[in-house]
Amino acid sequence: MSFYQYFNGEISPIDTAVFKTNDLGILRGYGLFDFFRTYNGVPFRWDDYWRRFENSARFLKLTIPISKGDAERILAELHARSGEQEVAFRFVLTGGYAPDGVHVVEPNFLIRTEALPQDNPEGRLKGIKVLPYEYVRDLPQVKSTNYVHMVLMADQLKEQQAADLLFHKNGEVSELTRSNLFVIKDNVLVTPDSNVLEGITRKLTIELAQPFFDVQVRTLTFDELMSADEVFTTSTTKLIMPIVQIGEHTVGEGVAGKQTLFLQNLIQDKVKEWGKA
């Protein structure tokens, strides 16, 4: 496989150095990204991902230097060069080079083509463990490049054989470091409505679940989380991943719940048919 990247109008091999050291993304952590993948060779929910990328850029007052149509043509070129049926794409938009180290002059825009992340089929069937972590992200509606808490806690996650952190504060639950959260109780499906990134897989899960569940998008308390029948998380890479342990607390019977697995099957059927005529 040969992966390539686009940077400010030029396409180059993926290992080509592109950023200079006075970029605001490096100096100040001022940048955003998005990440999505193909199914059947077609970018999944491209309209939704581009809209979210635009929203993130708007909140950070950064101008995307190309149009959606230009981006589509670049994606097609990068995909073709990879020689792979399925790839992942990563968009990165930073504050660009700042002579004074503060003010945005012209953003830098990078599109990377990447191999699909490793799947976790065992986790999807058996579920994962997460650690409760008291924190709420700044500007949660922005998919920023700041993942300091996940990196800071990486060793502890490994020691406790946990897959991720679950954010909560003042008795309310929000999200995980890289994914959204859902709970099921008595056929009611709840996902938090505040202090969260509005995930594309979250949106799809809500759409697919509505004919079968009482779906509620609202405040979710920590007590509700801990008394839920089933808990799961959603993201581009995880799709629907059961959570069976939260710290020392066992969710339900400690196995992936039937309703979670039902939703898994719905979303798997959806992605299998994506892009087919």
Going residue by residue through the chain (277 aa), what tens digit of pLDDT does each one get? Answer: 689 999 999 999 999 999 999 999 999 999 999 999 999 999 999 999 999 999 999 999 999 999 999 999 999 999 999 999 999 999 999 999 999 999 999 999 999 999 998 767 788 889 999 999 999 999 999 999 999 999 999 999 999 999 999 999 999 999 999 999 999 999 999 999 999 999 999 999 999 999 999 999 999 999 999 999 999 999 999 999 999 999 999 999 999 999 999 999 999 999 999 988 6
* Residue 121, both tokens: 């089929």
* Pairwise CA distance, residues 232 & 220, whole Å: 14
Are 54 and 131 within one domain? no
Are 104 and 171 within one domain? no
Q: What is the CA radius of gyration of the chain?
A: 19
3-state DSSP: the chain helix, strand, coil percent, rounded to 5? 30, 30, 40
Determine the Cα angle at 15 with ends 10 and 17, to 5°.
65
Residue at a domain's end among 91, 114, 137:
114
- Name the 3-class secondary structure at 49: helix
Closest CA to 165 of 191, 137, 129, 209: 129
* Residue 124, both tokens: 């999807």
| Cβ–Cβ < 8 Å for 246, 128 | no
Q: Is residue 65 situated within a structural domain? A: yes
Residue at a domain's end among 98, 114, 130:
114
Domain CATH for 139: 3.20.10.10
Domain CATH for 17: 3.30.470.10
Q: Is the pTM of this model over 0.85?
A: yes
Specify the number of domains making up the chain.
Answer: 2
Are 95 and 230 within one domain? no
Q: Residue 193: give the domain boundaries.
A: 121-272
Are 165 and 108 within one domain? no
